[in-house]
């Protein structure tokens, strides 16, 4: 039976049951993510492991991995890149508790009587894993900016006239 990530879950109940959820989701199901990509092809591999952490607080380890497509910001061609992330998410009941979350965990605010949207958490993690300026690792630009030299730069320096040269000539008189 395929895993359905589109449902909302009670993270407190899932942690008490030590539930483990694993499966894949089509990239096309993430609306905000698709807006940042060139194509909405492929799947996102997801592994979520709920548990009770320190002091019995519910937490879950979220692992996502996907091959996504973007436009290289150097050469403007499409390329694929791998996004892989593993985070420990600590469920907190109120905003004040966020300050007490250990540095190795990410806080997830879920009120005690509310449900957690797994799709939103997964999509947020994917969006945070995207590079700010996507580019090929070995991008071959049409024109290499370091090797481009037209020789005009030296001519411009020679042709430039110092505006104070006239003043220095008047000063000599």
pLDDT digits (tens, 9 = 90+) for 38-47: 888 899 999 9
So what's the pLDDT on residue 44?
94
So what's the pLDDT on residue 157?
60
Q: How many CB atoms are closer than 10 A to CB 125?
A: 20
Residues linked to residue 20 through DSSP beta bridges, in sequence order: 49
Q: What is the mean predicted confidence (pLDDT) over 2-26?
A: 87
* Helices vs. strands in the chain: H and E counts, helices first: 5, 7
Mean pLDDT of the chain: 84
CB 28 within 8 A of CB 12: no
| Residues 123-136: tens digit of each pLDDT | 999 999 988 888 88
- pTM assigned to the model: 0.74
3-state SS record for 49-112 = EEEECHHHCEEEEEEEEEEEEEECCCCCCEEEEEEEEEEEEEEECCHHHHHHCCCCEEEEECCC
| Residue 152 pLDDT greater than 70, yes or no | no
Sequence spans of domains, the chain? 8-139
| Residue 146 pLDDT greater than 60, yes or no | no
How many whole angstroms separate alpha carbon 40 and alpha carbon 46?
A: 17
Supply 61's token pair.
């380890």
């Amino acid at each position: 039976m395929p895993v359905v990530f589109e449902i909302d879950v009670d993270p407190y109940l899932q942690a008490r049951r030590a539930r483990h959820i694993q499966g894949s989701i089509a990239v096309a199901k993430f609306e905000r993510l698709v807006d940042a990509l060139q194509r909405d092809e492929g799947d996102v591999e997801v592994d979520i492991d709920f548990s009770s952490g320190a002091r019995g607080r519910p937490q879950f380890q979220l692992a996502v991995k996907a091959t996504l497509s973007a436009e290289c910001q150097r050469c403007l061609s499409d390329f694929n890149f791998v996004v892989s992330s593993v985070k420990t998410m600590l469920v907190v009941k109120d905003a004040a508790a966020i300050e007490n979350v250990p540095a190795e965990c990410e806080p997830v605010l879920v009120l005690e009587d509310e449900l957690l949207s797994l799709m939103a958490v997964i999509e947020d993690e994917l969006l945070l894993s995207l590079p700010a300026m996507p580019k090929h690792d070995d991008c071959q630009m049409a024109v290499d900016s370091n090797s481009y030299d037209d020789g005009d730069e030296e001519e411009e320096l020679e042709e430039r006239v110092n505006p104070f040269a006239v003043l220095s000539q008047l000063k000599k008189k």
